[in-house]
Amino acid sequence: MANTTTIQSREIPARTIARLSQYRRALLICLQKGETHIFSHKIAALQHVTSVQVRRDLMLIGFSGSLKQGYNIHRLIDVISEILDSKEGINVAVVGLGNFGRAIINYFNGKRSSLTIVAAFDNDSNKIGTEFNDIYCYSPYRLEEIIKNKNIKIAILTVPPNKAVEVANRLVNAGITGILNYTSTPINVPDHVFLDEYDMITTLEKAAFFVKSMSEG
């Protein structure tokens, strides 16, 4: 799987794409506060990176500021949005409507006009045919049909770990080209499918390691 995306014949690493998304969220908050310009060191402080990293990222996308005023916030948001967002919009499905799946819908729904959660899937008969936060829950037996009819391209996977590989394969065969795997089971996808995996245990263990290291002096 390639961890880059292309903009004007230049390749942008996946980590830079992630930081650009974080920059945009911070910039939108600044804009709401009435700020019009911002310096790299302030963006860096908001995102816990270095100002050198911010400047490198923005140079990579061809954006520059002025020495006196810094970066124009509104224009920078527009440039990042042009890179990150699809003009047509992209539809998303949550596969697994347990506590975590519902939390994702609650948090994300309505926050990005270019990304829309349009369906959920679960094998619980008590959930099938119901709506959660205006998102209809379908039976997994209809997965291929709904993905095709609703032109869904991204799936957020929150199924039980023992079902992850099977469901991921069905998603890929149904035409999904982006999967966010929130299960504890690693999955493999073809090269044309973007995959990002989030292992909560690994993240907690990493935090625990640094806490232990600091306490040991």
Q: What is the mean pLDDT of the chain?
A: 89
The reported pLDDT for the residue numbered 111 is 67
Domain count, the chain: 2
Does 57 lie in the same domain as 39? yes
Q: Is residue 214 part of a domain?
A: no
Express each pLDDT in 150-193 by its tens digit. 999 999 999 999 999 999 999 999 999 999 999 989 999 999 99
**Three-state SS at 80:** helix
Which tokens hold the place of 121?
A: 């899937």
pTM of the model: 0.78
CA-CA distances (angstroms) from residue 134 to 97, 118, 146, 191?
Answer: 13, 9, 16, 33
Q: What is the CATH number of the domain that holds 101?
A: 3.40.50.720
Does 131 lie in the same domain as 49? no
Q: What is the CATH number of the domain that holds 8?
A: 1.10.10.10
Q: Is residue 54 part of a domain?
A: yes
- The torsion angles phi and psi of 120, rounded to 5 degrees, stand at -130, 155
Q: Which domain holds residue 144?
A: 90-201
Averaged pLDDT, 144-148: 97
Express each pLDDT in 50-91 by its tens digit. 999 999 999 999 898 888 889 999 999 999 998 888 888 899
C-alpha to C-alpha distance for 88 and 91, rounded to whole angstroms? 10
Does 197 lie in the same domain as 94? yes
Please check the confidence at residue 2 and state whether its pLDDT lies above 70: no
Specify the amino acid at residue 37.
H
Does 171 lie in the same domain as 100? yes
Express each pLDDT in 87-129 by its tens digit. 888 999 999 999 999 999 998 876 667 889 999 999 999 999 9
